[in-house]
Amino acid sequence: MKVPRHLIDIDLMLLVIVIGSVASVIVPKMLSPADPVKVKWAEGDIRSGLPAALESFRRDNGDFPSTWQGLDALVKPPAGGPGSGKSWNGPYVNRPEAVLDPWGSPYVYVYPGIKNTGGYDLASLGADRKAGRDDIKNWGF
């Protein structure tokens, strides 16, 4: 016995509606804002944890690490520039992962700063790992 064509069309339409309904519930949850605990963690790193480590580095070495040296200079002695001599007294962070944000990406560090012209710029690109939308930064607090 052959199934009428209009019944197949109705079945397909119902399937599309069900899939669309499920997607409308799941997709927003996947694209929801970052986990608030991770955001607070990154804010803490940017407001106090990393600035304290950078200040200790500056006190020992006479200047902050350069952009080229990056935050890795807080973990191991850099090859050149501030901290490359005997004055490096680190590591300046408790664990090497401290230079990574809660989403596993390196913090963005620029010295001398572009936004903080008297110091350095420090930021996390956030959960989306892209500049602009959910960044956490040390300017504009």
Helix/strand/coil for 116: coil
Please state the domain extents for the chain.
1-32, 36-137
pLDDT at 76: 94
Q: 41: helix, coil or strand?
A: helix
Inform me whether the pLDDT recorded for 97 exceeds 80.
yes
Handedness of CA 130, 135, 136, 141 (dihedral sign): positive
Distance of CA 115 to the CA centre of its chain: 18
- pLDDT for res 19: 77
**Neighbouring-strand partners of residue 121:** 110
pTM above 0.75? no
Q: What is the pLDDT of residues 17-71, one digit of tens each?
A: 877 777 776 665 555 556 899 999 999 999 999 999 999 999 999 999 999 999 9
Q: What is the largest CA-CA distance in the chain?
A: 89
Is pLDDT of 87 > 60? yes
Question: Domain 36-137 adopts which CATH fold?
Answer: Glycoprotein, Type 4 Pilin (3.30.700)
pLDDT at 84: 81
